[in-house]
Amino acid sequence: MEERIGLDAGGNLVRLSWEGSQLVEVAPVQGEPGRVFLLPLLVDIQVNGYAGGDFNAPDVRPEEVRAITRRLWREGVGYYCPTVTTGSRERMLRSVRTIAAAWREFPEVADSVLGVHVEGPFISPEDGPRGAHPREHVRPPSYQEYLDWQEAAEGRVRIVTLSPEWPEAISFIGRVAGEGVVVAIGHTAAEPERIREAVEAGARLSTHLGNGAHALLPRHPNYIWEQLAEDRLWASFIADGHHLPFATLKAMLRAKGPERSVLISDAVRLAGMKPGRYPRLQRTGGGAAPQRTGAACRNPLPGRSRAPPSSWRCQRGTSHGVLPRRGGADGLFQSRPVAGASGRGQMVPRGPCQLHPGAVGRAARPP
């Protein structure tokens, strides 16, 4: 039996006991608080890459998926969804197939990867909503292409982000949602009525709401208000202080409530790297091509030797994460922290739980 004493998310001193990889007990104790935090592992449902690794690179290998997984552990992220973004059919299938191979080959990947999140290519072709996705590879929803992803992923595609503005979108959403996959609205220029139709068809998540949007929108109505007001939609937010101003994020969180809000990093390969200049990657259909110009990787937190993920600040304050699971509407999302999360950040055991090596006491540490 091993144990560690530290603070839980509520600032209470607790003793965490485990045997092997099984959590046995979390019990309150008396004593000095100290500086060790014992918090549930974080869940991130949108990770494009990390620490130099890129799931969308043309030469991504299973070993790179494993390396990204282990580096995310060091930030307290125990579970995540590798995210495959818009590209050629061949490149996207290669990325999905590589993630599935890593799942088979490496137990740590199988333990940590909840499923593949495919963001695009069925998104808006318009500048603004399209974001950084290459326009030449944006295309209408295709159920056959989705089936090809699932075959390559061995059935592990769990989230699909698309725009409902396409004529084919509503029927596509109904078929995919009917299979238990979470359909998310994102990178969209859809009219509010179309958003409502997507929700009726089975869409249940808004991907990084407030980003991947036009710089100027009608005051009202618009697709952001419509998604905020729809109680059947969860919403993910990039809460790094840059993608959404504080006042905007505060208002959005109040609209959705903590029970329907998901904090994500949307991290790319530069996250977690030392501050410096790196070759700029121009996203193309075939992957990422290095350019002559440099991309600066700056550290927004003084005293840290590496740049954190874009949502590191939100990860510090997140007591639990959510993940999609197959099943009925009652089980669209469930929390899956290491030590469980009851209410807002209280640590309570939920039976046997897996512990990742090196993760105990490291999650969500303050700067």
Distance of CA 2 to the CA centre of its chain: 31
The tokens for 203 are 């869409």
The rounded distance, in Å, linking the Cα atoms of 282 and 330 is 41
Q: Please say whether the beta carbons of 81 and 297 come within 8 A.
A: no
What is each CA distance from 21 to 28, 202, 353, 355, in whole angstroms? Answer: 21, 37, 8, 5
| DSSP annotation of 329 | G
The rounded distance, in Å, linking the Cα atoms of 43 and 308 is 16
Q: Which of 239, 211, 236 is nearest to 223 (CA)?
A: 211
Bridging pattern class, strands 287-297 and 276-284:
antiparallel
Q: Please say whether the beta carbons of 62 and 106 come within 8 A.
A: yes
What is each CA distance from 308 to 70, 280, 303, in whole angstroms? Answer: 15, 18, 12
Residue tagged 């840290």 (tokens): 304
The rounded distance, in Å, linking the Cα atoms of 316 and 207 is 21
Options 44, 54, 240, 266, the catalytic residue: 266
Q: Max alpha carbon distance in the chain (Å)?
A: 63
The rounded distance, in Å, linking the Cα atoms of 245 and 102 is 37
User: Is 111 in the active site?
Assistant: no
Residue tagged 């969860």 (tokens): 234
Strand segments, DSSP code E, in 134-284 are 157-162, 182-185, 205-206, 234-238, 261-264, 276-284
Catalytic residue ranges: 266
